[in-house]
């Protein structure tokens, strides 16, 4: 089953977490310092930032194909709002193949959230 890195409203306790019913929580994780997290309209957006990036806090979930399709719909993948892409993690999860959702629109003028979203 595929694994996803979740960093915002889909995490445990978040407003979108209902989509992860019956899925398996793998553990808390941090990305390699290659991303930035921005405050959007009530939810965060993760963007690739290369050498200007930070290590972002999140969770890894093992999900079914049906759940992954529901997550793609929730994140607006078909509309180009987010894209699912490989996410490089820090140890002990650095060998795990994980994807996450990267925000695809401009973050100009948006507040940088640092390393996490609560």
Domains of the chain, with CATH numbers?
3-103 (3.10.490.10)
> pLDDT by residue (tens digit) across 32-77?
999 999 999 989 999 999 888 999 999 999 999 999 999 999 999 9
What is the average pLDDT value for the chain, to the nearest integer?
Answer: 95
Sign of CA dihedral 53, 56, 61, 67: negative
Contact status, residue 6 vs residue 58, Cβ threshold 8 Å: yes
CB 56 within 8 A of CB 31: yes
Token pair 């959230």: residue: 113
For the question of residue 75 being annotated catalytic, the response is: yes
Identify the pLDDT of residue 118.
Answer: 67
Residue tagged active-site, from 59, 62, 75, 79: 75
Burial of 88 (0-12, 13-18, 19+ CB in 10 A): middle
pTM of the model: 0.94
């Amino acid at each position: 089953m595929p694994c996803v890195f979740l960093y915002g409203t889909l995490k445990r306790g978040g407003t979108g977490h209902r989509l992860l019913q019956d899925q398996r929580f793998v553990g808390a994780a941090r990305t390699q310092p290659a991303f930035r997290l921005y405050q959007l309209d009530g939810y965060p957006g993760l963007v690739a930032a290369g050498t200007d990036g930070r290590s972002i806090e999140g969770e890894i979930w093992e999900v079914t194909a049906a759940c992954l399709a529901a997550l793609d719909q929730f994140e607006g993948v078909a509309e180009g709002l987010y894209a699912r892409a490989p996410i490089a993690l820090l140890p002990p999860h650095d060998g795990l193949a994980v994807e996450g959702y990267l925000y695809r629109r401009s973050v100009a003028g948006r507040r940088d959230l640092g390393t996490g979203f609560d």
